Structure 1
Amino acid sequence: MSGKNFALIGASGYVAPRHMRAIRDTGNRLVAATDPADSVGILDSFGFDIAFFPEFERFDRHVEKLRRLGEERRVHYVSICSPNYLHDAHVRFALRVGADAICEKPLVLNPWNLDALAELEQETGKRVYTVLQLRLHPVIRALRERFAHASASDKKHVVKLDYITSRGNWYFHSWKGEERKSGGIATNIGIHFFDMLLWIFGAMRNYEVTESSEKRIAGNLDLERADVSWRLSIDNKDLPSEVREKGKTTFRSILVDGEEVEFTEGFTDLHTEVYRDILAGGGFGLEDARPSIELVSLLRKQK
């Protein structure tokens, strides 16, 4: 039987269908899924024999049973789309049942969690991968090639990042609105962009938070090769008027030395590219995730 067996944690989440498509489109099988919410009819689009469990304990028992049935039946990868504060525990589960973990952003909320997971990787011989899909976006990769090799004497670039993704009142009544569970706006919606900036323009030298509220956070970053001003918001009132008039709810803008970087297209298929990269022996691991996790942890402390 060709292909690998996947289990998925967090099947009712917003991003889960992207993982389901990535599993299918890379020639693999989703064999089990769990979520405390049972609104998971989306599973039927990917197979009618996927074992589903609202209770994690029953999911745990099922995956363990599959492990004991041998190589063809065991779960090879666990895809993790659960709330941010549960990622660490669910990654540990994956490694304990003999599977590699593919975890949504942020991999963990705190840098010290990465150290503990690194020890568990050593103990189990399994790997932890994270989804840093912007690193695979053609425009972002070209940008890195353009700027990554500047010398220390070169003039620093000036970067402005604006990311507004509208959210309604429900957001503040869910785990996403609780900082201790989501890590706050900088972590929950900003982690990909911070990773992208650090990947392109080098390590952080200094940082500051200039504005922080329930719906937005803004600040400045001093990176090796760029001075960055950034703003993240979930308030639709922050959308430019021309964006609202078109009925759109999201606005992304990155200016590098006054030049707009257009990378709006191509977002939806990047998870499949992440999976292809992992299955081909690549993938982004614990140390790839560390710089952005360290940064957002510092931003939380300065608020």
Structure 2
Amino acid sequence: MAEITASMVKELREKTDAPMMECKRALTEAAGDMAKAEEILRVKLGNKATKAATRIAAEGVVVTAISADGKTAAILEINSETDFVAKNDDFLKLAADSAQLIVDKAPADVAALSALPLGDGTVESVRAGLVGKIGENMSLRRFVRVAAEGHVSSYIHGGSKIGVLVDLVGGDEALGRDIAMHIAASKPKALDSSNVPAELIETERRVAIEKAREAGKPEAMIEKIAEGTVQKFLKEVTLLGQVFVKAEDGKQTIEALLKSRGAKVASFTLYVVGEGIEKKTADFAAEVAAQAAAAQR
């Protein structure tokens, strides 16, 4: 069996917010398998064990750009080491200019975007120049370019920490913005149940089965209970199944809202700054000193 190290326990605790000893027991039971240990904690502790899964662990901004006709758009995440730099005007200009280049030039990936002409050089030379000027690393992390089936609406929230693009067919700009705002607030994982990864569904099913067994439910009922749990999960994580955040009756789903307006969502993209990135920790005094030094440059 794999050795359960302190760093493994720490990683699981940061992902789940579960008590340290519970994390160690789960890792031991899972023979060091991190994903399996997280499942074990979810069975024992419920949704509390995924509390930390959406924590943001890096700085930077999400920016969008949309063509004048609303048919082409881009969403881009650009990262920095500190929030101080994420508010720098030159950094924000690089982000905005890069997003517009994605719309105009359709680069295949970040490397191709970095090679595009910008100012007196390229996107990469501008980035490298800012790194030298500010003294902090920054990177163009990811982007999506949308060639819309309908028209694109966007929404930026939380000081550019969350960004959304929605390709809406039918409806109007107000509806598109409402849908984009809903996505930013509710963070669906997929448009509908057919687009939810099978492994996510199977994980929910396994957890539901184990929780039902631990609760002493009759074996004959367990599959039915698990199916009910999966269906509830799909409503919670799919855009069409979610209740609209502005629904006056607290019941209208996005699917019902779209139907009432004769519209449909062809696709959407949601970016949250730092999603999946582990941020290095630094003491507060050192960070303030670094910011002060950058401000004097």
TM-score range, shorter chain: under 0.3
The normalised TM-score by structure 1 is 0.25
The normalised TM-score by structure 2 is 0.25
For the pair shown, which has the larger CA radius of gyration, 1 or 2?
2
